[in-house]
Amino acid sequence: MTTDFNCSEPPFSLLTLAQQDALQRQLDIVYFESGAQILTQGQQVSSFYIIIKGVIEELDNTRQEVFAHYTHGDYFDIRSQFGSPCKHDYRSMEETLCYQLPTEFFLKLTRENPAFVDHFQQNLAQKYAKLEARVGDKNLSEFILTQIDDSNIQPAVVIADDTSIKHATQMMLEQKIETLLVEHEGQYGMLTGTDLLKASVMAQAANDTPVLGFAHFNLIAVAQGDFLFNAMLAMTQNHIERVVVKQGLRITGILEMPHLLSLFSTHSHVLALRIARAKDLTELQDAAITLQTLVQNLTNNGIKIEFIMKLMATMNGQVMKRLFQLIMPDAVQQHCCLIVMGSEGRGEQIIKTDQDNALIIRDGFTEPNLTQYLEAFSQGLLACGYPACPGKVMVNNPAWVNTSQQWQRQIQHWHQSQQGDDIMQLAILADAHCICGPDALLKQLKQTLLDGFNQQTVKMSQFAAIALRFATPLGLFGGLKAQEDHLDIKKGGIFTIVHGVRALSIEHALNATNTIERIQQLQKKQVIDPEMATNLIHTLQLFFWLRLEQQLGQHQGINNELSLSQLSPNERDLLRHGLHVVKKFKKLLAQHFMIRDY
């Protein structure tokens, strides 16, 4: 029978066109009335079902235990298709329509198409990777995932430190290059055409003057084999146009921004330059507003969520840094450390979220107009599209502006308190990241924060228990649990992973703030096993990606709710898998920290 079955979603999109045509001819449509028994425990099946409309319940009839519910686009009891007897009963909970495919033909497809059969035997990480590959099959992804090699770098031309300006200029012209490396006592500095022009015109140096005095020796390096994206990120973060490429300790070449931009079409570096060169709030606001467009472009081009987060964390940080520089006098900037917390502190902010920032003032420094400057900073962020924090965790709130000693006393007070709000303040500060000013001021506070948890088993248990505060949105039967089609993915999944990993990281005195980096460090320390680490990373990335897709599609801003009806069957399947990972992680946390009543 010919049907209008949609073959655009996995696993059926993995079939060849000829196999899809044959599938359409083999499919039939069957109707089950409410309460109909579709499969029985112990039965050998003869058909594979995909739900068109209705709800199917999976249960153990002997114990009257319900395991899951299945709905539009879902298939069920895949185990029995490969010869195993039905493990449970399956019955319709309402009038239900299903596509019906003969098991014999289903098995024929699995024998003919390895990718098709692999889909049913993969774990969460493998399925998520397949989903990313499918949505990311675009030209920009190819650039992002291109590795640095000899084909995209300029060879490193090394000259002696006593080479004359004239000879160096001649070498650049003859070899048609813009950069030379100057060797001096085993160290390498970079010399550009602009450096030579300044030496000749501005400094009026003689032609025979050695180049040593005009080279720059604080080089930023990237590893050969790393992604081009990370090279672009290094240039953007450091406001530079070139990086050296190394293989181990050996310099193998130079990567220049003009060449990189010729490959990269989103113009993110151009946007970074607009931010860095903004002369006033209006220019900065114009640049900051386009960040949303950049996110949309990156998403539309299939860029992986991890790369989008890294780039947007850099861009958001530069907006805040430039605003701070525009408003604050130099003296304030030298003696005050501006920090961001929350998702921005962890480098996980994509869509602009609430302002979460604070200020650490060097002991002994005073500025009579500081309150005025900080109010202007908070209002400036608001103008750039960053909403005010409902909890007032902002620098225009005096509670979040303190000298170093005052912050030390505040952290000690939070540690001594048994109040839940004070424990959460420690959690907020644990994710802090320096945006502008002396980073050493923040490092001192973080050490005090970590010291307060050292060997404090009960306190760590109280801190970790916060991760178990929200229920995982899975029904007693293993299906997705939503309210009127909506599921809060932040409360139901993201928060548990972020705070649980944060607690484990504090317990082991890790310095990372990004959740994925924390998971990787915890795995290295054998705190969590490789399988759990991989599942947590892919689950978190999945949650971020699903949320971002719906935020952009519905212009929802910072809404954390997922509409389940807008997810494809494959996405619902991944979401269900991911929430089961969250549930398993909760058990790990409860056991590890000996949390009672869980």
Could you tell me which residue, 75 or 478, shows the higher pLDDT? 75
pLDDT at 136: 46
Mean pLDDT of the region 171-185: 88
Residue 141 has pLDDT above 60, yes or no: no
Q: Which residues contact 370 (CB under 8 A, 6 or more apart)?
A: 332, 361, 401
Helices (H), 103-227: 103-112, 114-119, 124-135, 139-144, 165-175, 193-197
> Which of 101-105, 257-261, 577-581 shows the lowest mean pLDDT across its residues?
257-261
More confident residue, 141 or 472: 472
**Alpha-carbon gap, residue 92 to 96, rounded angstroms:** 6
**Each residue of 123-134: pLDDT tens digit?**
555 655 555 554
pLDDT at 73: 83
* Over residues 166-178, mean pLDDT: 88
Q: What is the mean pLDDT of residues 6-25?
A: 90
Q: Is the pLDDT of residue 15 over 90?
A: yes
Return the minimum-mean-pLDDT range out of 107-121, 180-194, 204-218, 259-273.
259-273
- Rounded Cα distance, 220 and 222, in Å: 7
Q: Highest mean pLDDT: which of 62-71, 142-151, 392-401?
A: 392-401
Q: What is the mean pLDDT of residues 14-43?
A: 93
Provide the token pair at 316.
Answer: 């958001």
pLDDT tens for 462-484 read 999 999 999 999 876 667 887 87
Per CATH, is 12-121 categorized as 2.60.120.10? yes
Q: Residue 357: its pLDDT value, please?
A: 95
Residue type, 71: T
CATH of the domain spanning 464-592: 1.20.120
pLDDT tops 50 at residue 138? no
Residue 128 pLDDT: 57
pLDDT for 571? 85
- The ranges assigned to domains in the chain are 12-121, 154-263, 268-403, 464-592
Which amino acid belongs to residue 425? Q
CATH level 2 (architecture), domain 154-263: Roll (3.10)
Cα dist. 288→238, 281, 432, 449, 524 in Å?
Answer: 18, 10, 22, 33, 38
For the entire predicted model, the pTM comes to 0.69
The yes-or-no verdict on residue 230 having pLDDT over 90 is no
Q: What is the pLDDT of residue 84?
A: 84
Q: What is the per-residue pLDDT for 495?
A: 96
**pLDDT exceeds 50 at position 265:** no
Mean pLDDT for 481-506 is 92
Q: Whole-angstrom Cα distance, residue 483 to residue 487? A: 7
Query: pLDDT confidence of 345, banded at 50, 70, 90?
Result: very high
Q: Is the peptide bond before 155 cis (omega within 30 degrees of 0)?
A: no
Edge-to-edge strand list for the sheet holding 28-32: 28-32, 96-102, 47-53
Instruction: Pick the range with the lowest mean pLDDT from 261-265, 273-277, 513-517, 538-542.
Output: 261-265
Confidence of residue 426 (pLDDT cuts 50, 70, 90): very high
Q: How confident is the model at residue 229 (pLDDT cuts 50, 70, 90)?
A: confident
Burial 286-306, CB ≥16 within 10 A → b, else e: ebbeebbebbebbbebbbbbb
pLDDT digits (tens, 9 = 90+) for 294-328: 888 778 777 778 888 888 888 899 999 999 999 99
Three-state SS at 430: helix
Question: Which pLDDT score is estimated for 449?
Answer: 94
Task: State CA 89 to chain mean position distance.
Answer: 40
Between 554 and 71, name the one with better pLDDT: 71
When pLDDT is averaged across residues 95-120 and rounded to a whole number, the result is: 91
Distance CA 153, CA 244 (A): 9
pLDDT band at 139; cut points 50, 70, 90: very low
pLDDT at residue 331 in the model: 85
Share of the chain above pLDDT 70, in %: 90
- As a whole number, the mean pLDDT across the chain is 87
Q: What is the pLDDT of residues 507-540, one digit of tens each?
A: 999 989 999 999 999 999 999 999 999 999 999 9
pLDDT of res. 266 = 47
Which pLDDT does position 512 carry in this prediction? 93
pLDDT of 472 reads 92
Nearest to 540 by CA among 303, 305, 315: 305
